[in-house]
Homo-oligomer: A and B are copies of this chain.
């Protein structure tokens, strides 16, 4: 059989006649990074931002489902017929676990929110899509995003043809001076900067977190410049044990913040349940006002109709089982990530500590560390790293929309065990030797400025 990819019948459609997002590196990123992992299944991978599988349990899925059905019967007084309907039938567009999510936000974040302002979505990704779709009216609308930026935000923006304007992260997680300058510069160019996207806790990929003062200043700036803040909070629970800072939404008194949540890291990714808190008021003319959440729900009805109630039930059951505390639900995985993060940081120090040309940041939590290296980090090197050295990681350039991060790699600590971390770093060191950064331990230091490592 001939390979259809290369020969065979002519094309039915031309890429040049399909939506431009399909030619964009942002959309290729996700697919490329997944494919690389698939091509080197035996490689040790610091690449994926996926959670540890230590807590995964098929029986827990069944248990969560039963727990939620019990809740429907006991707490909400549903008859067996109503329980069946809730789980199996079409349902409320904005979701059926919004009230449980509101309780979780109050328990964990001290955030009191009207459940009607919550839209439950197919993962946080759909929430980002809905918000950008709503905010992008025409070609003048732009979204700001702290750079490097989670590629899912950039990709969603591409789908709605919305310009993404990068904002420097600086050392505080967001360079407020740059943000103000970007907003004003955009307005001068005739653009309408609508919102600024950021991950205030243990950002992906930078690992940076905003301190309390920066959070307050950012809220004041958003008010002053009349923009919204899009707060994405997938990693907040994975702190170092010293507690969490309040979310931007918890500090928000002026409805400036749209808050995205995900249960992918705190419960399980397989449910594909996320949400958005959107308590903004939308004016309809003649003094009529509706919630922004209702607008997002209208868009959702034409994207996915509603989030699977079975999936929602799984997440709902997990919330019920943990008395609405994700802090409690994540107690075990938090320790895994803390241990792994410390392990990777220690391992980097051991191997590259004396090598002045290699450096890295030291996040206090989350999944990610960024390593700066004196060579080009691109997709080609990643392929070679997988093929020849059996170790994977993520080129940070994917988070810069192709315009930065060419000397940085992201190491994720979330999905390896201790032995794998150790072996993975050994393999990484071999790659570094190959790139001429480290010398092989032959008894002599072969690379100026760097200590040698034992391979």
Residues of A within 8 A of B (CB): 4-6, 8-22, 26-28, 30-31, 34, 48, 50-51, 53, 56-58, 61-62, 65, 69, 81, 83-85, 87-91, 93, 122-123, 125-126, 129, 133-137, 152, 155-156, 158-160, 192, 255, 264, 268-273, 280-285, 287-290, 292, 294-295, 297-299, 301-311, 314
Contact = CB atoms under 8 A, between A and B. Distances in A.
A287 B129 CA distance: 33
- Say how many copies of this protein the assembly contains: 2
B5 A289 contact: yes
Contacts of A17: 137, 192
A436 B30 CA distance: 62
A302 B158 contact: yes
Given A129-B303, A285-B15, A301-B155, A81 B53 contact: yes
Nearest to A306: B272
B264 A90 contact: yes
B301 A9 contact: no
Contacts of A282: 11-15, 18
Given A133-B159, A289-B8, A152 B302 contact: yes
B301 A137 contact: no
A335 B64 CA distance: 34
Given A13-B280, A53-B88, A299 B21 contact: yes
B271 A308 contact: yes
Given A62-B65, A298-B27, A298-B31, A272 B307 contact: yes
26 contacts: A5-B288, A17-B137, A17-B192, A19-B136, A20-B137, A22-B295, A27-B302, A30-B93, A48-B90, A50-B90, A53-B85, A56-B84, A56-B85, A58-B84, A89-B269, A122-B304, A122-B305, A123-B305, A125-B302, A125-B304, A129-B303, A270-B308, A271-B308, A271-B310, A272-B311, A273-B308
A33 B375 CA distance: 59
A88 B125 CA distance: 17
Contact of A281 (B11, B62, B69): B11
A295 B280 CA distance: 35
Contact of A4 (B122, B125, B281): B281
Contacts of A14: 282-283
B91 A270 contact: yes
Given A11-B281, A125-B305, A159-B303, A290 B5 contact: yes
A157 to B, nearest CB: 9
A294 B9 CA distance: 18
Contacts of A255: 12
B84 A159 contact: no
A113 to B, nearest CB: 14
Given A21-B302, A273-B308, 15 more contacts: A8-B289, A11-B282, A12-B255, A12-B282, A13-B281, A15-B295, A27-B298, A27-B301, A28-B298, A57-B88, A58-B65, A58-B84, A61-B87, A61-B310, A129-B303
B89 A53 contact: yes
A153 to B, nearest CB: 9
B89 A50 contact: yes
A197 B55 CA distance: 45
Among A13, A31, A134, find the residue whose CB has the most chain B CB atoms closer than 10 A: A13
Contact of A308 (B5, B6, B122): B122
Nearest to A309: B270
Contacts of A304: 122-123, 125-126, 272, 304
A385 B135 CA distance: 37
Contacts of A287: 6
Contact of A299 (B22, B62, B307): B22
A186 to B, nearest CB: 15
A27 B61 CA distance: 34
